[in-house]
Amino acid sequence: MDFLILAQLVVSGIAVGMIYGVIAFGYQLTFATSKTLNFGQGEALMLSSLVGLTVVQFTGYWIMLPIVLAFGMVQGAVVERLGVRQAIKTKSESGWIMATIALGIIFKNLAENIWGRDALKFPSPLPEAPIGLMGVNILPMEIVIVLGALAMMLAVETFNRRSIFGKAVVATANDREAAGLMGINTSLVITFSYALSSMTAAFAGVLIAPVTLTGASMGGALGLKAFAVAIIGGLSSGMGVIVGGLILGITETLTGFYLSTGYKDVPGLVLLLLVLSFKPSGLFGRSAIKKV
Amino acid sequence: MSLQRRMLGAFAATLLSTTMLASSAIAADPIKIGLTGPFTGGSASMGVSMRDGVKLAVAEINKAGGVLGRPILLVERDDEAKNEVGVQIAQELINKEQVVATMGFINTGVALASQRFYEENEIPVINNVATGTLITQQFLPPVSEKNYIFRMSANDIIQSGMIVEEATTRRGFKAPAILADSTNYGQLGQADLLKALAAKGVKAVTTEKFNIGDTDMTSQLLRAKSANADVILTYGIGPELAQIANGMAKLGWKVPIIGSWTLSMSTFIDNAGANGDGAVMPQTFIQSPSTPKRKAFIDAYQAAYKVDRIPSPISAAQGYDGVYVLAAAITQAKSTEGPKIQAALENLSGKVEGVVTTYDHPFTASDHESITSNIPVFGLVKNGRVVAARDEDISGANAVRLKTKN
């Protein structure tokens, strides 16, 4: 019985942690190429899942996916063009922070005006009855979240390592100036990384929506948790954000059960502070030496 | 030049006086009443239902000739469930719009933040929906000379008492677990539940907390399950309550859910789907034509707003009744002055037949609650609607329950 409870908590923690991880993966993508982040990542996820909710009524779940992914790419490119490009050009240290937060707020207001502010039910493509695995219950959709998130991260990593365009992304990530000198259009690469980042957010959005409900306010808390995950795992490591997500998700459910549900969020934040104090580049991050 | 000027002046004066004549003839100086609540945002389903119920009653009254021969004019403002917006609206309605009275409030926090301005300016407030116990107590004499805050809803002490009575006495559960959200609403409700349980000599096996926006309730539910809870008592709002019902389905653990009236929110019913079936909660009004008056109200609401299911039936019904109670008080006071309306509300002579109940002296100087614990009945979520948990509660002699006098 006790072991079963532990197993159930870990399984639920993995499902929650994977949600954090897949959003944090989006932070990592843009940080790698441009050393900037989209602080509106949670809002990108929210906006795409609401677009998905509208589209899904006409197309069904699986045909909706590519449409939402395309929407996510466009949304990401818009964020980069409007909020980040100018800051990079002028080598502004903080302009992009304010700009991406501002764009996030604008997207949230837009969503509130179009879809209202109530939490809405997202139709689940799979049965909503749980599956029992050796006494541990899990929703079919939660399995899809875990597998889908892993598959997407694998796809992005493979793309970056194998395709010629992906190699340009990696080259830009390693040394933007050298890549530029080699004839790589680095500003296009950065726009592309933003598009890719919002695409992962869009995918995460429609993946988790059947489990979490969707609505204009869904992005805020998730975006923030994912940011903590990105810091814990390390912004320069794709592997790190997955592990970081799992650590946070499992800690939350375990603390909730064994300590108190009133303190559920505390250990994750303590971990964040510890990581920032002792290994600021994250558990899996490579520490960057800033050349002045 | 001076002739031209004078002619122009004379023309303007004539124009001005004619328009003034015309306007005073058309609108016989309407009685302005403020209407405030969250018409957008997480509690919008309650705010909009309340607003629509109020507008329905005002339209009926105006069609029948108004109050004191004057039409009622509603000044609607969206408080977005935000305390600071509520305060701004209170000041605007009092100073700029100079309302005679204000109706509204869904959220206890907004009500508490805003109502002191009405109290200071001696303008009566009819609180249609917010349930925080403190609302009607804040200005109870001797704290201030006169209390201007009146309530149409069942407060949290009534609700928590009913929840505990249902769980322990009527259904015989021995091991309740409390799940409440971390807001003021949830935490104060939890305190009321614990008090009511203590009065019955029952101990909660566990009390668990969750945050607004939480999507995973595994920890809370497993704690309740390991403590061998046989019933779950809730104090939260729609989306998270739905996650509790869905989480129970996921864990394959099903015990009854009994909670505050928010289990009737459409965000709970729609998001929990079949998992929410069987949840019960206190309701002052069930969307069921159990009296001719109720049937007429439901038909009128459905026709006016083109809906089948009223998003929040009790908000609509309490708002509708609130207008008739206020109108009766203004008629009795023969005045639109705040202190006179307040006095009339505290000593209302005629009966007001509403849809929730029939109001016979609903308020006194020391009691500003129109609902007593015998009036609400239990609603039950069934196939996406709230029905009466026990049909006998809303039929026959039980259909209209009157306030108990003490």
| Residue B257 is assigned to a structural domain of this protein | yes
Residue B174 has pLDDT above 70, yes or no: yes
Residues B145 and B50 occupy one common structural domain: yes
Residues B222 and B162 occupy one common structural domain: yes
Range of B359's domain?
Answer: 31-154+288-371
Residues B175 and B243 occupy one common structural domain: yes
Mutation site, B78, B208, B218, B225, interface A, largest A CB count within 10 A: B218
- Least Cα separation, residue B17 to chain A (angstroms): 43
> What is the per-residue pLDDT across B274-315, written as a single tens digit (0 to 9) for each?
999 999 999 999 999 999 999 999 999 999 999 999 989 999
Residues B230 and B307 occupy one common structural domain: no
Mean pLDDT of the B318-335 span: 96
List CB contacts (< 8 A) between B211 and chain A.
Answer: 264-265
Q: Which pLDDT score is estimated for B7? A: 55
Where a domain ends, among B255, B283, B311? B283
List CB contacts (< 8 A) between B273 and chain A.
Answer: 121, 128
Residues B45 and B146 occupy one common structural domain: yes
Which H or E run includes A195? helix A186-212
Place B21 in a pLDDT band, splitting at 50, 70 and 90. Answer: very low
Mean pLDDT of the B256-283 span: 93
Residues B239 and B129 occupy one common structural domain: no
Q: How far apart are CA A12 and CA B161, in angstroms?
A: 35
Which H or E run includes A254? helix A238-258
Mean pLDDT of the B384-401 span: 86
| Residue A13 is assigned to a structural domain of this protein | yes
Number of domains in chain B: 2
Q: Which pLDDT score is estimated for B25? A: 41
| Residue B133 is assigned to a structural domain of this protein | yes
| Residue B208 is assigned to a structural domain of this protein | yes
Yes or no: say if B15 and B83 are a contact pair by the CB < 8 Å rule.
no
Residues B50 and B138 occupy one common structural domain: yes
Minimal Cβ distance to A261: which of B45, B220, B246:
B220
Rg, C-alpha atoms of chain A: 19
Give residue ranges of B with CB < 8 Å to any A CB.
40-42, 44-45, 182, 208-211, 213, 215-216, 218-220, 222-223, 226, 238-239, 242-243, 246, 249-252, 266-267, 270-271, 273
> What is the per-residue pLDDT across A187-235, written as a single tens digit (0 to 9) for each?
888 898 899 999 999 999 998 888 888 888 888 888 888 888 988 888 8
- ipTM topping 0.95: no
Structure tokens at B270: 């729609």
| Residue B50 is assigned to a structural domain of this protein | yes
Mutation site, B79, B215, B232, interface A, largest A CB count within 10 A: B215
Structure tokens at B306: 């083109």
- Least Cα separation, residue B43 to chain A (angstroms): 8
Is residue A215 within 8 angstroms of chain B, CB to CB? yes
Closest by CA position to A287, among listed A236, A217, A253, A242: A236
Residues B234 and B293 occupy one common structural domain: no
Residue B59 has pLDDT above 80, yes or no: yes
Phi, psi for B106 (deg, rounded to 5)? -105, -40
Number of Cβ pairs < 8 A linking chain A and chain B: 89
Q: Determine whether the interchain pair B211/A262 forms a contact, defined as Cβ–Cβ distance below 8 Å.
A: no
Minimal Cβ distance to B208: which of A253, A254, A261:
A261
- Across the strands, what pairs with B257? B232
> What is the per-residue pLDDT across B91-107, written as a single tens digit (0 to 9) for each?
999 999 999 999 999 98
Long-range CB pairs of A52-56, under 8 A, 24+ apart, other chains included: A52/A122, A52/A202, A52/A205, A52/A206, A52/A209, A53/A115, A53/A120, A53/A122, A53/A209, A53/A214, A54/A115, A56/A122, A56/A123
Q: Determine whether the interchain pair A211/B41 forms a contact, defined as Cβ–Cβ distance below 8 Å.
A: no
* Residues of chain A where predicted confidence (pLDDT) is lower than 50: none
Residues B134 and B48 occupy one common structural domain: yes
Provide the 3-class DSSP secondary structure of residue B370.
Answer: coil
Structure tokens at B292: 């001719």
Minimal Cβ distance to B251: which of A15, A137, A212:
A137
| Residue A256 is assigned to a structural domain of this protein | no
Where a domain ends, among B252, B283, B314? B283
Closest by CA position to B31, among listed B401, B374, B341, B375: B341
Q: Crossing angle, helix B108-120 and helix B184-199, to 10 degrees?
A: 100
Mean pLDDT of the B32-60 span: 91
CATH number at residue B59: 3.40.50.2300
Residue B14 has pLDDT above 80, yes or no: no
Residues B250 and B367 occupy one common structural domain: no
Number of domains in chain A: 1
Q: Which pLDDT score is estimated for B8? A: 55
| Residue A79 is assigned to a structural domain of this protein | yes
A218: closest chain B residue by CA: B213
Is residue A133 within 8 angstroms of chain B, CB to CB? no
Average pLDDT score over chain B: 90
| Residue A198 is assigned to a structural domain of this protein | yes
Share of residues in chain B with pLDDT > 90 (%): 76
Q: Determine whether the interchain pair B238/A211 forms a contact, defined as Cβ–Cβ distance below 8 Å.
A: no
Yes or no: say if B315 and B127 are a contact pair by the CB < 8 Å rule.
no
Place B28 in a pLDDT band, splitting at 50, 70 and 90. Answer: confident
- Least Cα separation, residue A154 to chain B (angstroms): 26
> What is the per-residue pLDDT across B114-173, written as a single tens digit (0 to 9) for each?
999 999 999 999 999 999 988 999 998 888 899 999 999 999 999 999 999 999 999 999
| Residue B13 is assigned to a structural domain of this protein | no
Q: How far apart are CA B11 and CA B202, in angstroms?
A: 82
Is residue A218 within 8 angstroms of chain B, CB to CB? yes
| Residue B138 is assigned to a structural domain of this protein | yes
Range of A69's domain?
Answer: 2-231
- Least Cα separation, residue B247 to chain A (angstroms): 10
Residues B140 and B38 occupy one common structural domain: yes
| Residue A207 is assigned to a structural domain of this protein | yes
Residues B95 and B51 occupy one common structural domain: yes
| Residue A277 is assigned to a structural domain of this protein | no
Where a domain ends, among B283, B305, B340? B283
List CB contacts (< 8 A) between B41 and chain A.
Answer: 117
Q: How far apart are CA B295 and CA B90, in angstroms?
A: 34
> What is the per-residue pLDDT across B203-243, written as a single tens digit (0 to 9) for each?
999 999 998 878 889 999 999 999 999 999 999 988 899 99
Mean pLDDT of the B235-257 span: 92
List CB contacts (< 8 A) between A246 and chain B.
Answer: none
Minimal Cβ distance to B250: which of A112, A130, A265:
A130
Q: Which pLDDT score is estimated for B10? A: 55
Yes or no: say if A5 and A132 are a contact pair by the CB < 8 Å rule.
no
Q: How far apart are CA A251 and CA B80, in angstroms?
A: 35
Q: Determine whether the interchain pair B219/A132 forms a contact, defined as Cβ–Cβ distance below 8 Å.
A: no
List CB contacts (< 8 A) between A261 and chain B.
Answer: 208-210, 219-220, 223
The C-alpha torsion from B273 through B278 and B279 to B283, rounded to 10°, is: 110
